[in-house]
Amino acid sequence: MEDKKIKIEDEVKSLYIHFPFCKHICNYCDFYKRVPSEAYNVSSFHNLFNEQDVVHERILSTRGLKLGGLETLYIGGGTPSLWGEEGARFLELFLRKKGLELNNKGEYTLEVNPGTWTDKVISRWLKAGINRFSVGVQSLDERFLPILDRVHTLHESFELLDYFKGVELDYSVDFMLGLPNSESLQRNVLEELDKILFYKPSHISLYILTTKESYIHQKSLPKDDWIAEEYLKVSNFLIERGFNHYEVSNFSLPGKESKHNLRYWSLDSVAALGPSGTGFLKGNNGGFRYKWNVHDSRVKEEVLSKREFELEKIYLSLRTFRGLNVSDLFGKDNDHALYSLIDEWRLKGYLSSLENERVSLSPKGFLLLDSIMDDLFREKIV
């Protein structure tokens, strides 16, 4: 089996845990999630998690690996804040069983939704070692909450933001762009972001809504040009307010980038547990990706060859402000083609900088990342 040949570092220092429950299923969301029922609830999830853990140990140990010295942990959803105090206790037991400790240098994030938390619950997660939160706000314009089928009120969003402002913790806010009826209702996303900044998040994620053909509001989505304008407008606005646009959909105050997500974008190893969690183990000569089945403790495996690894690495490095080291692309017969492409991108305003042999994209370049990748293929540079 090809993946056995991959040599992998021995400690995996990042872990993603997927918690699959929500109070309500929003009409646009494509993540795996369920409303708890008698047939499938938190205790079924705990059983599945424990079964996965046994299989996971094997996945790691057959590759000479184990979880260790956790530097980043991300508990995503679903709505992990619904896991409550019971979840914090479960996490503590799990970490103890594994001989893992969370420390004050690591980044350990929990997703929290408005209306699904109490002061006591957050304090319990803090006690378990969580030190960063990610809040699902999506919009601060009351008119868009029912369109998005959100189950919380605007008041609940402000309550949560106010709480995090008060405790002075690092936290991030999720927002969405390109919402249905944005044009007709004249959504003013800058006004919403201005309100958000009052609550001092250190990080903001801004995702352009992606939908299926069958989406209930498909006909009311704004046009691509309108969305592009909205995206560039928010990027400008947040940069003016001191944020770095450090990844296609992510902004942070300097030094407050998500360490966990940067590992994905650098193709570093990140283990995963929980239904539909996806882990990646980096090797010297490629990598191994595994995605948990949602109902049992089996995984879908994907072995990345050297070439696939390199291509992903190029794509992912262009997603972040670190950019791509152009010298990684040299050495074939295409140096000239690459230089002309870089020049073309510069003239079109796709580059934010070209320093020390690194190409990094501007917000306009981020928006056109796919066509930039197409250019590299067309010119046979990759």
Complex with ligand SAM: residue 131 or 138, whichever CB lies closer: 138
Structure tokens at 282: 């980096």
Complex with ligand SAM: residue 79 or 317, whichever CB lies closer: 79
Complex with ligand SAM: residue 136 or 286, whichever CB lies closer: 136
Complex with ligand SAM: residue 130 or 176, whichever CB lies closer: 176
- With contact defined as beta carbons under 8 Å apart, do 6 and 285 qualify? yes
Q: How far is CA 241 from the centre of its chain?
A: 23
Q: Give the interface with ligand SAM as residue ranges (CB under 6 A).
A: 22, 28-31, 76-79, 111, 113, 136, 138, 174, 176, 207, 209-210
Number of separate helices (H) and strands (E) present in the chain:
12, 15
Structure tokens at 365: 């370049």
User: Own/partner pairs for 55-63, CB < 8 Å, 24+ apart?
Assistant: 55/297, 55/298, 55/299, 56/271, 56/273, 59/279, 59/290, 59/299, 60/12, 60/271, 60/281, 62/4, 63/3, 63/4, 63/6, 63/8, 63/281, 63/288
Smallest CA-to-CA distance from 280 within 1, 16, 7, 40 is with 16
Complex with ligand SAM: residue 62 or 153, whichever CB lies closer: 153
Shortest gap between Cβ of 146 and ligand SAM (angstroms)? 15
**Cα(317)–Cα(361) distance, integer angstroms:** 10
Shortest gap between Cβ of 114 and ligand SAM (angstroms)? 8
Shortest gap between Cβ of 151 and ligand SAM (angstroms)? 9
- Residue in this structure with the two tokens 């972001």, named with its chain if needed: 193
Residue closest to ligand SAM when measured from CB atoms: 136
Smallest CA-to-CA distance from 30 within 73, 75, 77, 74 is with 77
Shortest gap between Cβ of 277 and ligand SAM (angstroms)? 11
Residues in the chain: 382
Query: What stretches of the chain show up as alpha helix (H) in DSSP?
Result: 42-61, 84-98, 119-128, 144-147, 154-167, 189-198, 224-240, 259-265, 306-319, 335-347, 363-367, 369-378
Complex with ligand SAM: residue 95 or 209, whichever CB lies closer: 209
Complex with ligand SAM: residue 277 or 287, whichever CB lies closer: 277
Shortest gap between Cβ of 138 and ligand SAM (angstroms)? 6
Complex with ligand SAM: residue 238 or 304, whichever CB lies closer: 238
Q: Nearest 10 degrees: CA dihedral of 253, 254, 256, 257?
A: 100
Sign of CA dihedral 317, 320, 325, 329: positive
Shortest gap between Cβ of 215 and ligand SAM (angstroms)? 9
Shortest gap between Cβ of 31 and ligand SAM (angstroms)? 5
- Report helix, strand or coil for 187: coil
Shortest gap between Cβ of 193 and ligand SAM (angstroms)? 14
Shortest gap between Cβ of 334 and ligand SAM (angstroms)? 35
- Report helix, strand or coil for 281: strand
Shortest gap between Cβ of 177 and ligand SAM (angstroms)? 9
DSSP state of 314: H
Complex with ligand SAM: residue 31 or 339, whichever CB lies closer: 31
Complex with ligand SAM: residue 138 or 202, whichever CB lies closer: 138
